[in-house]
Amino acid sequence: LHFARVFASLSIPGLVQSLVLENERTEKLIEDPRIDHVSFTGSVATGRKVYAAAARRMIDAGLELGGKDPAYVAEDADLAFAAENIVDGACYNAGQSCCAVERVYVHQSVYEPFLERARSLVMAYRMGDPLDEHTTLGPLARRETIETLKRQVEDALKRGARAIYRGKRPSGRGTFFEPTLLADVPNDALAMQEESFGPIVPVASVANDDEAIARMNDSRYGLSASVWTRSNKRAEHFARDLEAGTVYKNRCDFLDPALPWTGWKESGIGSTLSRCGFLALTKRKSVHFRG
């Protein structure tokens, strides 16, 4: 709505139109012959419907879908820096970011010290009105997400995970969920495999870099991943072997307009941002003359 209002102030009428539609009417809109390209951001389930509708007309579609973005804390990481940024990457906007950190792997040599630092950070969040300057954790946008988070936490605990700090839904108004820190979470747990979109931080210990890469790649998603290390050589190794559209060293949940934003596996198709992002919005033509 903000974009529509801004573009409406220009001297080009109808450049941007804002429509609020349910899935069925969106599919009908894609069938309109005036539509040449579809760019969708949302869930995998709806992305499949959008892609199928675009395929019926043989038009291109860019899909930015779900994520289960992993972080790896190597044995040589700046532990305080890594913990602070990873917890923030998981809980920023109450975890409601497509590239939020949603699972954490920590080298066994620094595992317990990382958990100790992460616990103090998670406990420091203050829930409340997002317009209050003292609030550091706002509400969830969708009420049903609370049940998703509760189910993921319970599943992890049943599989042997430890609750280092277990958040609860507070009484009163608002769709709030306290940040939750889990340790020893098996890789087949829901909290490690299914998108959370909320402030939970599931953590597991790994013995070495190879195990970290294997576990980080053990996902149907591949949006972004981060490695926390002082070694460029290690970071380059992870950048090469991780199945993700973006690989960070010592940062997370960040966009650079000069770099393509893209997803692997079920995290999406196509790119936005950078020069690559404009390619889908153009039609290439070769002109070949002889004589």
Question: How many CB atoms are closer than 10 A to CB 265?
Answer: 18
Q: Which amino acid is at 171?
A: S
231 burial (CB, 10 Å; 0-12 / 13-18 / 19+) is: middle
β-bridge partners, 70: 103
| 36 burial level (CB within 10 Å; 0-12, 13-18, 19+) | exposed
- Of 22, 31, 64, 102, the active-site residue reads 64
Let me know if 27 is exposed, middle or buried by CB neighbors in 10 A (0-12, 13-18, 19+). Answer: middle
**Is 64 one of the annotated active-site residues of the chain?**
yes
Q: How many residues belong to the chain?
A: 291
Separation between Cα atoms, residue 241 and residue 225, nearest integer Å: 11
For 200, phi then psi, to 5°, come to -120, 145
- Catalytic residue, chosen from 22, 75, 91, 98, is 98
91 is catalytic: no
Looking up tokens 């894609």 gives 30
Please choose, from the candidates 139, 141, 113, the residue with its C-alpha nearest in 3D space to the C-alpha of residue 128.
Answer: 139
Backbone angles phi, psi at 284, to 5 degrees: -75, 145
Look at residue 217 and give its three-state secondary structure: helix
Residues with active-site annotation: 64, 98
